[in-house]
Amino acid sequence: QVQLQESGPGLVKTAQTLSLTCTVSGGSISGGVFYFSWVRQPAGKGLEWIGRIYTSGITNYSPSLKSRVTISVDTSKNQISLKLTSVTASDTAVYYCAREGVGAYSRYEDSFDIWGQGTVVTVSS
C-alpha cells in the first residue's frame, strides 16, 4: 500500500526558501505512471495547487507561483521535493503531496488518489 509522507522545517523566516520533501513508501516512484503534486491549504481556507512532477522530471506549475517554485524528483530515494523561494506570511499553510494518476494508465483516471497527511509550515520573521 503506497503512502506519502511530507517532511521539512515547520518554521521558515520571511524572504527565505521553504524546502519540503515527500517520501513515497510501499512502492517505487518509477514503478508506475504517475505525477506527484504539491497542494497547500492556509488555515481555514481552501486548497491551492502548487505544481506537479512526472516521474521522468517533467513539471507543471501554478501560474501564480511559477516564478518562485521548483519541484524535483529523486527516484533513488523515492522522494519528491518542493522549494518555494522568497516566502512571506501568505505562504503559511499546510502543505500536502498527492499522487496523480495518468489517464487510462490509472485506476482512477487523473485524480489525486493518495494524499500525504500534510505538514504545517509557518513563515515568520
Partner 1 sequence: SYEVTQTLSVSVARGQTARMTCGGNNIGSKNVHWYQQKSGQAPMLVIYKHKNRPSGIPERFSGSNSENTATLTISRVQAEDESDYYCQVWDSNFWVFGGGTKLTV
Closest approach of partner 1 to the CB of residue 69, in Å: 12
Residue 119 neighbours by CB distance under 10 Å: 19
Determine, following the binding rule CB under 8 A, whether residue 110 of this chain makes contact with partner 1. yes
Determine, following the binding rule CB under 8 A, whether residue 113 of this chain makes contact with partner 1. yes
Determine, following the binding rule CB under 8 A, whether residue 108 of this chain makes contact with partner 1. yes
Strand partners, 53: 36, 59
Cell 512502492: give the residue. Answer: 27
| E-state strands within 44-108 | 48-54, 59-61, 69-74, 79-84, 93-101
Closest approach of partner 1 to the CB of residue 3, in Å: 11
Judged by the rule CB under 8 A, the positions of this chain that interact with partner 1 are 37, 39, 46-49, 51-52, 60-63, 96, 98, 107-113, 115-118
